[in-house]
Every structure is written in structure tokens, then in C-alpha cells.
Structure 1
Amino acid sequence: MGGSEGTFCLVLHSHLPWLARHGAWPVGEDWLYQAWAHSYLPVVDVLHRLAEQGRRDLLTLGVTPVLAAQLDHPYCLRAMHSWLADWQLRAHTTHRRLPEVAAREHRAAAGALRTFEETWRHGASPVFRSLADDGVVELLGGPATHPFGPLLPGRVRRFLLDGGLRDTARRLGRRPEGIWAPECGYAPGMEHDYAAAGVRRFLVDGPAMRGDTGAAHPVDGTDVVAFGRDLDVTYRVWSPRAGYPGGADYRDFHAFDHASGFKPYRVTGRRIAEKAPYDPERAAAAVARDAADFVGVVVERLRDLRRRRGRPGLVVAAYDTELFGHWWHEGPAWLEQVLTLLPAAGVHVTTLRGAVEAGHVEEPVVLPASSWGSGKDWRVWDGAAVADVVAGNDDVARRLLAAVDGVDRPAGRDRVLDTLAVQAALALSSDWAFMVTKDSAAHYARRRAAAHRDRVRELTDLLPAGRHAEAARRAAEFAAQDDLFGHLDARALTRARDRELVAAR
């Protein structure tokens, strides 16, 4: 398998906010189990099949710490097993009304149950760790709860980044050298945080590179390398107007049989209300057609880069993992065909680490403030629609720092402060502002942001009032519901403050 045309990197970003014990449907735990069943299981199956053929360095896989915490959590593992069994049961009860749909869903549910019980029953970390240890994927880390970093005080941003990297190291046995910064959010200077944390590579969106995504670049003044998404290639899939998932023959994500929850229709047409029945054979033909088209687009892009630059180029396409299977039912099959066809077309398929090793790093760049959201700026997370969320986040960060700075340096861990740090981290998740701005379950997002923000306020009001016993009791109640990141140690914020004070002298 040669790479005469150039190099291609596929990057998948796996992320959901903390959903465990915070509602089930229509937004809540069901979101987690749907993504797990329809994206994480089949995408990993694709990786295992290709690995069995001897393939290595297939793609770069980001798994955020907050998602990993759920995929490893005993509560979520038990609930996921029950959810899969319920999926199979729903297929049984739908048989008389929709026999073909029921048979198809029964086979899918039975396969998912078998895969879960054989491969995932002890959590996701053994699954991802084996893929990384065998060289099948490069794993990325990130900040603990996916906060939008550019809007955070530096000390809080660095605390959550280090906490997330430590969490990944505990689960996977190694500290990641690459990250997917939440929302590809970047502000000038963040590269120094990355360098200090041992991060050597990260992603930005293509416009942050001013469209020059044909190579990776060190960010000015550091050895930290930035990769830019090639939007011309990426949008062949991602574009809401012309992306492959909107093709007429694919299963329609939005059209339900409400009695069963199944999706028995194909897209048919963008403005067609009466949807045609889903036809797996038509969908399979569309997968083959669109996979071949995508490979052709990548090859032409690489040839254009070689013509313009006089040397082999790099294409980075990056997507949310949940697109493949959850949102786009046929996505995993498309993914498998693309990863099979690209090497046969003369494209070197590798990871971000592999791209560095292959020499696709060129001159340093100075990056502007940016994100991968609308406008490629910060408006999704800092716009008028979420001004109250932003103000609340500012208050959360201020209260967290004031609380840890306001106590004598403890000899041991302080469970109240540690719980405060976890609740602050959950409140600062970028998902809440995104969901509000995009009007996607905005009511749930506002409720979640407010709940964690109120817990931060309650604890930070109790502590300075000397009501330590009440604070400890309430912290224990919060920790019982949100029992993730037990290693997150609030003393790290105090140590960071002390280092900054010494450096300033």
C-alpha cells in the first residue's frame, strides 16, 4: 500500500457531556446509549476488522475524559446492557406492524448485545487501550469536561486540561501527546499551556490556518504543532446542504415510527413529507458510490497540493464520531470502505503522529482566535443568545478560585473543594452554550448549566460562612450523583497560584 499521492489523516472526536443520572429521554442518558450502540460499537468493529487485515495507523481517535468516564462507569455499563436488551424487545413487539423493520432491528440489537457482552462489558478503556497499544489508532485527550478554553481564566483552563490528561493516562496507561481542544477553540497563547502540559499537537479549523491546511505548522514560539481541517474535503460529508448523509437513499434520522422509536424510512428528498421505506440495498449502493467519490476528492486535493507546492501534501478530515452510525446510519460502512479504498488509490493513510513522522511539518505560524463553530469565531459560545450562560460561567470560575485561595493550604485532600471543582467543571462544559445557541434541547442545557452553577454557589456560600459540616453533607450528595473524576484534586489550583506568584516576583 503506497502513498505516492500524499497523506490523509482522519480524525474522529468522540464526545458527549455528563449525562448519567441527569434524565433519560428525550435528552439525557438515552443520548449516551444511542451513540454508544449506533456509533461507538460499530466504529470500533470497523477498526477491529481492518486491524485483523494487518492495517495500522488507521486514524486518530479523540475520546474526551467526560465521555470515557461514562463508558467505564459501572452504572452506565449496567444501564447500557439494559438499553440494548430493550432495543431487542422493541423489535419483538414491532414484528406484526413492521415485519421487515422489526427483523432488521432485531438482528442489529442482537449483534450489538453480543459485541457489548464480549468486548465492552468491562468498559471502554480496555477496548481503546488495546487499539492504541496495537498501533491501530492514535488516541487524543483533552480537558476534563470539554470547556470552551478561550473564555476561561488561565489557571482554571490549565487545571482542567491537566485533570483531563491525567484521567486519560489513568485509563489508557499513557498521557496523550495530542488533543482535540473542545470546539477547536483557540486563543493566542494557549499553545504555551499545551507545551507545559506535554501536548505536542492539536487541531484548529481550516480558516485559522488561512486555508493553508496542506501541512502542519508549529505555533510561533513553541514546538507545539497545529493541524488544520481541510474544509473542502471535510464538507463532502459534513455539509448540512450537500453532505453525503442527506442522500435520498440513506436512512432518515428524523422520520420515526413513534410507537417503536425505529426509523423505517429513507431520506427520499429534502422537501418530501411522505417518506419512502428504507431499502438496505439502495443504501449499500449509495455507500459504495459516496465512498468512491470521497476517495476521488481526496486524491484530487492531494494532486492539487503537489502541483502548487512542489511536494506531497497532507489532507486532514475531522468529524464527530457520533456522525458515523448515530446521525448517519450508514456512516460506519462508508468509513470502512473509505479506509480500504484510499491506500489502493495511492494515498498514505496515517495518524497525526504519523503525519509528523512523515515530514508534513513546515514553517511556524501565528494563529488567530478561532473555533470550528459558526463564523469560525467564538460567537456560538460567547454570543448574545448565551450572554447569561457566559456570565454564569465567569461567576463559577471566580467562585472556584476564590474558594481554593481562601483556605489554608491543606495537608491532605479536601473533599468539599474537590467536589466544588467537579461541579464547576460540569457547569463549564461547552455543550450547554452550544445547545442553547443552536436551539438544540436548549431547555435541558439551561437546566443543566444552572443546576451545576447553583451547586457551586451553594458550596461557596457555605464555606466562608463557616458552615463546614453542612457544606460537607451537601458535597457528599452532589458527589453521589456526579461521581466522576475522583482524582480531580483542587489543591492543584493552589499550587498553580503559588507557581504564578513565584514567577511574578
Structure 2
Amino acid sequence: MKIGSFTFVLHSHIPYTRKAGMWPFGEEWLYEATSESYIPILDILNELVEEGISPKITMGFTPVLLEQLTDKYMNERFERYLFHKIDTCAKEMERFQDNRDFRRLAHFYEEYYTRILDSYEDTYSKDIVKGFRELQDNGHIELITSAATHGYLPLLSTDSAIRAQVHIGVQSYERHFKRRPRGFWLPECGYRPSSKWKNPINGIVTERPGLERFLIEEKLDYFIVDCQTLGGKGKYLNMFPMQGYSLNKNNQNEVKEGTKDGELEHLGFKPYHLLDKNGKITVLGRNEETGIKVWSGDWGYPGDGWYREFHKKDHLSGLQYWRVTSKENDLATKKVYVPEAAESRIEENSEHFAHLILDLLTNFRNKTGESGIVVAAYDTELFGHWWFEGPKWIKSTIKKLHGLGIEVTTCSQFIDEHPAIKSITIPESSWGEGRLHRIWQNVETNWMWKKIYECEERMEKVASKYIDASGESAQMLSQGARELLLMESSDWTFLTTTRQAVEYAAGRLNEHYARFNEILDALEKGDKIDLERMMEKDNLFPNLDFRIYAKVEEKKEIK
């Protein structure tokens, strides 16, 4: 008997950058992620299959990312990007004729980008989405969906806005992967239960359904929450004691009040049901300790001194010639990267991680007598783009887990074989700082939410008013919906709060806000606009039907 189960969950997302800038903010985000993360990971998954190992990872792509990965314009630009990278490497070898280390690294990168180009053109025929789809069709991985444009669902002000993000996410998945999804990634692991919700901008309090209702409507089977939401090490529950978990009172397997923190830690190793009046859905928890080993710059593997340094780039070429060295070293004193030395660290770190998984599962079985699962969830772009050696580490880890007798599985396979038997309620939460919403909603972003809420309310009203619209009027309404979806992307508030791209984020939100209102103003006044130009620029979700925004039920205001 296997000691327990494990799955990697990789969440892939890049905001909509098509014709919205190149560098430092814009399309290059997608091209970097594709060449450094998506293709390398697709390569190692196929390598594992060729070696007789089914990788069984669970991998999500946001619909807005899928739209860009399959867009002809973006694919042509990506090829040009790779040719430019290869040409840059050749020029760097000439530039560093007298610097053996840098010349060797320039040649290393030339070979790297040439391999990526060969994979893209020859192995995957310029269609990496198809490459992932074939792995799923052959039973080697599971692909899951997410909100249409990565809207931060707990803070959206209308139920129709949430319903649209979820429905369009499912619809886009079906179009690209030729089947319905079973799993759903909540953007930023942001969750809100059924409760009285206070609009953070106007202060109005309304009764709102939990996010699970919208997932159940789409017949989804499960979603994933942050580790602290299901107990973790009790840290989150200690910070917010009134929001602790509770098992459904009608369940005969109820865990009694007064459960000790030590028992709370085990909640994350099992699936649970969340109940709604329309049905139920399974929830899985992201494991905390595995997250720290990869996410943390201080305690995680990517901080190893022999791995490539992400933050230091050559001022002319942008190539990264340095290694982490140590956390005490500033960028000026980083030492030269040695790829061969990093290889040995990959083996050691993957060995350590595999035994961590074994220890976690063994401890869970010894204390509960049950078979559990470790869900190790990360942003896909961490592997390759941020942590250059990450894809090779994933491959090495999967092989070592198999060698230790651990069941490497997907989320769906696990819940099919070990279905939830208990129901649970969970608190409002996210995987952001403080485990709530302050990264996305704060004094610096409130002006953004004010505009988003204004447009959400307006979209719901016009969709209900013009529900029988056809022809150009229907096209205008659907394009207005696209602009609203792009406004709702959580990236704009995140980039503002973290100060990574404040002006770019503000400009993007304001552009979509302006186009949204231009379209709906013209519709209501009967004016003519250049709709074709707008539809060409923001051309995602071709099957979008604005009627998803029509009001379904009245929100009840609380006095």
C-alpha cells in the first residue's frame, strides 16, 4: 500500500498584453514565460512520459492566457522574440571574446533558446496548448480552469460579474481542451463564503452567496484554497479566531468543538465538501511546508547560492550571467553562474523535497491511520522564469517520489479514489499577505475598485435591459463585457500595491474603462463608433455572450 499521495498544482497566468506594450511591461511578459516556463515544463513532462513515468501533475491555465497562447499575432511575435534572443547571444559571444566565463554563458543561452525554438516549431508545431491537451488526453496530466481574466472574485461587487468570470472560464477551457474541466483555481486562492458583504467603496451591505455557488452552477468538482484556510499550523486561526473552521452540524462525522491545533494541521491532507443549496463541491488545501521550500527566498531552494540570480541582468543584452551567491551578497558582488554546478544542487534539493513529502505523509498516516495527499501548489512562472532550474527540479522530484513509493496523482484522480466524507465551512481568505484582501484592495487601489464597481453595475443593467439585442447591438454589448473583464484582472491592483508597474497598471485599467463607457454610451445614444477596431484589439473570448451579465436574482440590502 502506498503511504500517501502527492500532486504538483501549477497555476499559469499572464494578464492580457496583446498590443499593450512590449518592454518592460507588456507582451514580453508572455514571451518570457513561454520560453522560460511553459515550453521547458512541457518538454520535461514529455521526457518523463518517454522514460515510462506518467507525471500526473495538475496544471491550470487562465483563460486569458490560453487566448494569448493561441493567438496568431502573438505566436508570430513570439517567434520573432526567440530569433532576437538567439541573435543577441551570438553578438554577446563576440562582445565577450576576452571574457571566457561570459562568452561560455552566452553560448549556453544561445543553445538554450535554439532548443526552445526547435521545441516550439518542430515538436509542438507552434501550438503548445495542443501539446498540453495531448498529455491530458493520454492520461498523463490534468488541466484545470480559472476565472476568465483572473478577476479577484471575493471583491467583485455583483453576482453577475462573478458568474461571468466563472462561466467564461469554463467556456474557454472547453473550446481549447475539447472537454469540460473538473477543477477550478480561484485567483490568488481568494475565497469568500456566503455572508453579509460590505462594499469597500460605498459601504452598502448585502447578502451574498459563497463563491462555491458559482462553481457548482458550472458543475465543477473541486477547487483549492490556501493552507491556512484549512488550518495550516494554526497560525491563521490564531490571528483570526472568530473565523476558524467548523464541520457541518448535520454530518454524523462531525469533529467536535475544541479540536486541538495539532488536529487542525491534518485538515489540509484530506478533501472536504462545501455545501450550498444547489449542491456540493470538494475543496483541497495547498500544503504550507512545501510552499515555503519553493517560495521563500530565505528558506527555499531557489535561494541556493549556485542557482542563477534572477534580479541581475546585463545592462545591454538583458542576459543573466550571475548566480545567487548568497543572500548577504548585494547585486554588485554576485559571482558568475556555473550551470554545471547548479545541476548537482537540483539533485540534492529534489531528494530533500521528496523525503519531506514522505515525512509529511508518514506522519499523517501514523497519527490518523488514513491515506492523505500533499497538494504542492505554485505559480507556474516560478519554475524557469524566476527559478531558472525549476523545470529540471520538477522532473527530478517526480522521479524521486516514484522511487519512494508515493502515489503521484492528479487532484481529480485522488478525489475519485478518496472521496470527501465530511463537509466543512471555511473562512474568507487568500494566499496574499495577511491571508485576506489587502494586497488587492487598499487606499492605493480604491480608485480602481470604484471604476470597476461602476462598470459592473452598469453592465448588469444594460445586459438586462437589452437582453433581446441582436446584430451590431449585441456585438457592442459583448465587446463592452470584454472590456469589463479586462478591467477586473487582479494584476492591475497587485502591480499597484507592490509598486512593480504603477503607471502601466493605471493606464491599462483606464484604457478598458474608457472603451467600456464609449461602447455603452454609443449603444444607448444610437451613435456610431469604430467597433471593429476595438474588437480587433481586445479580441479574446470569441464566443462571449453578454447575456451572462443579466441579473439572475435580486441582492437583498441589509439595513
2:211, 2:103 → 1: CA distance? Answer: 55
Partner residue in 1 for 2:190: 185
Does residue 269 of structure 2 align to residue 214 of structure 1? yes
Q: Report the AA paired with residue 99 of structure 1.
A: R
Worse-matched range after superposition: 59-68 or 207-216? 207-216
What is aligned with 2:291? Answer: 234
Q: Of 537, 542, 559, which aligns to 1:481? A: 537
**Is it true that 1:345 corresponds to 2:345 in the alignment?**
no
| Distance in structure 2 (CA, Å) of the matches to 1:437 and 1:56 | 40
Tell me the equivalent position of 1:13: 11
* Gapped regions of structure 2 (runs ≥ 5): 97-101, 194-209, 233-266, 555-559
Partner of 1:490: 546
For 1:293 and 1:124, locate their aligned partners in 2 and report how far apart those are by CA, in whole Å.
31
CA distance in 2, matches of 1:123, 1:489: 26
Q: CA deviation at 1:12?
A: 0.3
* One of 513, 516, 522 as aligned partner of 1:453: 513
CA contact (8 A) 2:120 2:127 kept: no
Which amino acid is 1:40 matched to?
A: Y
Residue 48 to residue 348, structure 1, CA distance change in 2 (3 Å): same
Q: Answer yes or no: is 1:261 the counterpart of 2:318.
A: yes
1:431 to 487, 491, 497: 491
Q: How far off its partner does 1:192 sit?
A: 1.5
Q: Give SS of 2:319's match.
A: coil
Opposite residue 250 of structure 1, the aligned amino acid is Y
| Preserved CA contact (<8 Å) 1:313 1:360 | no
1:334 aligns with 2:339: no
Q: Assess if the C-alpha contact under 8 Å between 2:183 and 2:222 holds in 1.
A: yes
How much does 1:358 deviate?
2.5
* Stretch of structure 1 that moved more, 320-329 or 232-241: 232-241
Preserved CA contact (<8 Å) 2:55 2:398: no
Aligned to 1:205: 226
Match of 2:140 among 136, 143, 156: 136
The size of the alignment, in residue pairs, is: 492
Contact 1:57 1:135 in 2 (8 A): no
Instruction: Kindly state the Cα deviation for residue 442 of structure 1 after the two structures are TM-superposed.
Output: 2.1
1:89-128 correspondence to structure 2 within 5 Å: 89-96=87-94, 97=96, 98-128=102-132
| CA shift for structure 1 position 439 | 1.4
Q: Partners in 2 of 1:287 and 1:124 — Cα distance?
A: 26
Contact 1:7 1:349 survives alignment (8 Å): yes
Looking at structure 2, the residues matched to 464 and 40 of structure 1 have their Cα atoms a distance apart, in angstroms, of 43
Partner in structure 2 of residue 158 of structure 1? 163
- Distance, in Å, in 2 between the alignment partners of 1:57 and 1:272 is 37
Contact 1:73 1:123 in 2 (8 A): no
1:271 has 2:328 as partner: yes
Residues of 2 paired with 1:282 and 1:121: CA distance? 33
- Offset at residue 120 of structure 1 (A): 3.4
Q: Which one of 42, 45, 52 corresponds to residue 43 of structure 2?
A: 45
Per-residue deviation, 1:171: 1.0
Residue deviations 1:276-312 (CA, integer Å, cap 9, x gap)? 1101121111111111111111111111111221212
Check the 8 A contact 2:120/2:126 in 1, yes or no. no
- Give the Å deviation of 1:458: 2.0
Match of 2:196 in 1: none
Higher mean C-alpha displacement, 31-40 vs 148-157: 148-157
In structure 2, C-alpha distance between the alignment counterparts of 1:50 and 1:396, rounded to whole Å: 47
Whole-Å separation in 2 of the counterparts to 1:241 and 1:290: 15
TM-score under structure 1 length normalisation: 0.94
**Deviations 1:204-238 (CA, angstroms, capped at 9, x unpaired):** 00111122201011113443001111111221111
2:233 paired with 1:174: no
The 8 Å contact of residues 53 and 399 in structure 2, kept in 1 or not, is answered as: no
* Residue equivalent to 2:444: 385
Shift, 1:79, TM fit: 0.5
SS at match of 1:62: strand
- Flag the 1:183–1:134 CA change in 2: closer, same or farther, 3 A: same
